[in-house]
Structure 1
């Protein structure tokens, strides 16, 4: 049914909606959950009780029906903003006992995905293998991450599982089409990505073994079988299926019926050395409960995947900078999960240790050694000098599509020797604003700021347990504010609340109100990497003396919004000098630019600055 309105709803990733090509702000997670349910059953009437069951599950509150009506009203306001309260809606309509979303089937990406997969299978059944490959790839590109991302409730959980299984089945069929088309090498990249999502799926591993064998990599195909045996025994205590064992036997004896293995490349090993059996996938585990950043993720995904990459040999480069604890690495990993399929030759992760208190920043020579080893180069072939390693690295990666995360960079000079040429993509995270990479190397900059208050409260409730903390409660919102809306602080506080069920949340909150002990509580004993104070220590100690004095003075002044005039009055320094120091603090992401001539000081950074001021005063007194 056509509504006359251009509404498009996306469920294959974070739940989003578009009206006339413009993104719609869908409100809190439960409101997005209601939209996800109605969109999944577009054209059907869904009862209020069904909606409540889908959103709350077994923990339905007495006010659930009112909550459903409130969420529907909120969705109506954003989907049809010109509609008055007395007008009948065209998109989200009321029916006896429930509501119905009236929109075209292809306007919801889950329905579109199912339709496109069906069309792809029809093309394959009709003998149009090339058309089937294109159709499968177009369908799989609809995915932007985990389906129903960030949406609570049992219905969303079930749909996530169901849709993921459909996605992997489609990936299996797509790989089979690539093999039918003789595109064996290309199939390796797609299969490696899919196996990373479900390592126990034997059909995917069998297809990978065939694609490797037909690409002239018999030994690598056999290695995949050995890895599969070990994984199945370790995880499930079983052996591979008879079908996979038979495939292994046929590869082992080079069965002609399996398809002749291609001849090995004729290029010299020094130019194209052997690569691992499967492309390297080194990305660390994502922290639980990633929240927010939808706009930044969508914007950067489009920027990095655009067809016009600035010319042949121009690397796609983005810099994600922000203060300690703001979630830069988690953002980069979430982005990598969304766009990784477009870079089938591997995903590399290098810790540059720019702010590691226990060690010096990683040098380019050591980083290149790590990268070359990761790409399958034997130590005997790796040059000993920096220039030689750079040249070898550039030659090796030029023809490949790699996704490389350079985490915790200290300076642009630390990063530049590691930038490849060609079609690869590099994500750099840093606590400092690497303006040189933007100006000279064409990097796309994404500044990370604290989370929105609503997102912070939702993250706290999700991690601490909704039976303990509701996202709309004053206690939750107050705690989110005391944590400066920084993801690291929010996770630490949520963990403390979840592990102390014997005290009511309001009583636990009081422990964070007291300034002297708040930073003590936002830490884990004997783990400097999870201490907000330790993270701020590193950034503070890297400041020039004048900038450090400025930060101490601003913290003592207890004012969130700062101008050069105010800072000059506080410090007694000339305005021009004050402006220079404010710029230094902004470049080191210890204050945020809030507008022309205005800066904002996060309350946790301000608390830390007051601690530093107190220590300095005591040292002078002694």
Structure 2
């Protein structure tokens, strides 16, 4: 409703009409960036028969809803009406966000002073949980829907989410929960969240322990553990809360274990026995807890019971997992058996300087993983398999998983899904770096330098900038020393080659590395390679349907299948095609499918803004040697889905038995521009073939001037 219409409604006393009230509400909500989330039920009183509501009351109700006078929102409220509603809006009576305190290390609660505010229904608490765990960063609507409902949101999920946000804003105040870029963010000081306070205590305890201040470190860890109040995120439903609950539970156990270690170092073994006995029953497969229990019993003069703990643990591990106890527990058993003097607890605790090989700095837990892709689709079996392999960082070898595939196939999305799935198994943090391995050419600065990445990693791990060494080897050595004894996941995205990656790999077991690259990393020793293929037709159709909406996809199912097939089932191409449709609501899917059916213009159609499918292939093409680039262009001119080695040799003008042909083609396979489904056979992805033929046309003059490419033409060769 425009301001003049509002003024006329005031004059004509039309406030008893529900339609007027609803229109004013919707307009004010839009101007504040808020959806009209209030339902008809909440306006029921305006529809009841009886005397009409007086206008000042209705106006005040609206102003209280939005926390601001209506004339501040652009409505032409008459001057006398402004005086009539001159009472301060509700927002002015709400304490600033600093007065709010939030807890997640137990049931999710909101407190203002001594008052506990209602956190709403379970789904509203799930929304609050997702916002709190982002610590002030904006969460998109899709991310929040995934957090509340997982992969199966209700039909009107977006409208329901906005209603939850509206109710949450009424509880917290309009300044605490803000709308931002289609999503929401919770504005609060860091110390208002008990999780942040707990992390601060842990960081201070690490510093105190490194400085030899063991009693102070123990006190700080006790303060951190006192913040916990039962199961974290208690009573909050949804997959996001469940994943965060598992991570926080694992972290609490790490804090508890660190405090028990200090108890034993300070000679409090008698008190620790009771607690360790209960924990060993609750977590029977935790060898570290069993080791601490054995040590506490031995120092308490109960050697026989300590030996029995080892025997029971060995039998349990054999029955449950079919394995023997690890080296630490076995060595401790031998020391207890022979009453080694090394097990005697210290009699005097003094403040001492850190050892020369100890890093006396705070050890924060970096959490650098970017957000997952909101529309990640398929790959379920692959995610499950990789998520099982990474946490098994036991023994003497640190796992390295290398995901390789052509540009736009979804390597980063897969790696982020796996990393977020297993992050609870790496309680000491997650490091992330985009290595920019796809950059090439004079206009681009090139891949990231390992030394610069190491410096950033060290700072994230708590090393002051002034203490970071100058040379890359020294930085790598300090990096490995800092990670020793910790469980950290390192995600290296868009890697260029092995020499770029090697300095960035942790050196100790317990950590793990996940690497993505367009090139085959054959020179990365010990890495488990994984070639990521394009989507299956069913997965591709699901991704396209999610992007354009089910209603639009169900109206033209055949055109949707034609579109994803024209995209070669490549996730990037599918997302670009869907984005073009979303930006053009008047287009039909059939219209887009018809445009993509023309191979000559298909790559031009797969463009949205600066994002193009061709640019992904161009970066790999620019890195080729001249002989590789020539082969890449010429081989694409053959018609048919498959190329045998003899046919490829003829296309390149080589002898059929030339021994250099196969290594040349294999180098294109390693670069991600060619596929080899079987030994001696090669093929292009459909879109890469189109790009190679385009390069054959645009590079023809230069190639001929160089004395090569006698067959170079943009026309496919039909009968080779």
Range of TM-score over shorter length: 0.5 to 0.7
Aligned-pair CA distance for 1:569: 3.6
Alpha-carbon contact 2:580-2:608 (below 8 Å) kept: no
Do structure 1's residue 306 and structure 2's residue 387 form an aligned pair? no
Quick one: which of 527, 533, 552 aligns to 1:468?
552
Q: Is 1:558–1:606's contact at 8 Å kept on the other side of the alignment? A: no
Report the secondary structure of 2:492's partner residue: strand
Give the length in aligned residue pairs. 396
* Distance in 2 separating the partners of 1:316 and 1:531: 34
Tell me the secondary structure at the aligned position of residue 476 of structure 1: helix
1:410–1:222 Cα change, 3 Å? farther
Answering whether residue 517 of structure 2 is matched by residue 430 of structure 1, we say yes
TM-aligned CA deviation for residue 480 of structure 1: 0.9
Deviations 1:392-415 (A, max 9, x none): 111111111111111111110111
Q: Which residue of 2 aligns with 1:379?
A: 465
1:371 shift after superposition: 1.0
Alignment partners' CA distance in 2, 1:578 and 1:147: 52
Cα separation, 1, equivalents of 2:530 and 2:417 = 14
Q: Is 1:453 the counterpart of 2:565 in the alignment?
A: no
Distance 1:389 1:151, change over 3 A: closer
Rounded to whole Å, the distance in 1 between the matches of 2:191 and 2:382 is: 33
Q: Cα 1:434–1:201, aligned 2, differ >3 Å: closer, same or farther?
A: farther
Instruction: Map 1:91-102; keep pairs closer than 5 Å.
Output: none
**Paired position in structure 2 for 1:503:** 587
User: Which structure has the bigger radius of gyration?
Assistant: 2
Question: Are 1:335 and 2:418 an aligned pair?
Answer: yes
Contact 1:150 1:291 in 2 (8 A): no
CA contact (8 A) 1:585 1:591 kept: yes
CA 558–565 in structure 1, closer or farther in 2 if over 3 Å, else same: same
Q: How does 1:444-593 map to 2 (within 5 A)?
A: 444-470=528-554, 473-525=557-609, 527=610, 530-575=611-656, 576-593=659-676
> Could you say which residue in structure 1 is the equivalent of 2:371?
285
TM-score normalized with structure 2 length: 0.50
CA 1:535/1:418 → structure 2, altered by over 3 Å: closer, same or farther? Answer: same
Report if aligned partners of 1:213, 1:221 keep a CA contact under 8 Å in 2: no
Kept in 2: contact 1:319–1:444 (CA 8 A): yes
Take 1:378 and 1:212, find their aligned partners in 2: how far apart are those partners?
14
Deviates more, 1:284-293 or 1:399-408: 284-293
Which structure 1 residue ranges, 5 or more long, are not aligned?
Answer: 1-145, 162-194, 224-257
Q: How many angstroms does 1:595 deviate by? A: 2.6
Cα distance, 1:562–1:412 mapped onto 2, change above 3 Å: same
Superposed CA RMSD in Å reads 3.7
Q: Which has the higher contact order (CA 8 A, sep 6+)?
A: 1
Shift of residue 466 of structure 1? 1.4
Query: What is the alpha-carbon distance in structure 2 between the residues aligned to residue 486 and residue 538 of structure 1?
Result: 17
In the TM superposition, what is the alpha-carbon distance from 1:329 to its structure 2 partner? 1.0
Q: Decide whether the 8 Å contact of 1:353 with 1:359 is kept in 2.
A: no
Deviations 1:119-146 (A, max 9, x none): xxxxxxxxxxxxxxxxxxxxxxxxxxx8
Cα shift at 1:271: 2.6
Q: CA deviation at 1:220?
A: 11
Q: Verify the 8 A CA contact 2:399 2:527 in the aligned structure 1.
A: yes
Deviation at 1:295, TM superposition (A): 2.3
Q: Does the 8 Å contact 1:450/1:485 carry over to 2?
A: yes
Equivalent positions of 1:121-270 (< 5 A) are: 151-152=151-152, 154=154, 202=193, 204=195, 208=199, 267-268=354-355
Could you say if the C-alpha distance between residues 269 and 375 of structure 1 is closer, same or farther in structure 2, counting changes exceeding 3 Å? farther
Say which SS state the counterpart of residue 560 (structure 1) adopts. coil
SS of aligned partner of 2:523: helix
Of residues 294, 297, 322, the one that matches 2:383 is 297
The separation in 2 between residues aligned to 1:208 and 1:591, in whole angstroms, is 48
TM-score (norm 1): 0.57
* Aligned with 2:498 (options 401, 405, 412): 412
Cα distance in 2 between the residues matched to 1:369 and 1:213: 23
Q: How far off is 1:219 after superposition?
A: 9.4
Any idea what the Cα deviations from partners look like across 1:562-606, whole Å, max 9, x if unmatched? 221332343332343332222111111112221343333110000
Please give the alpha-carbon distance, in whole angstroms, between the structure 1 residues aligned to 2:156 and 2:417: 19
Matched, 1:595 2:681: no
Aligned-residue offset at 1:348: 0.7
* Alpha-carbon distance, 1:273 to partner: 3.6
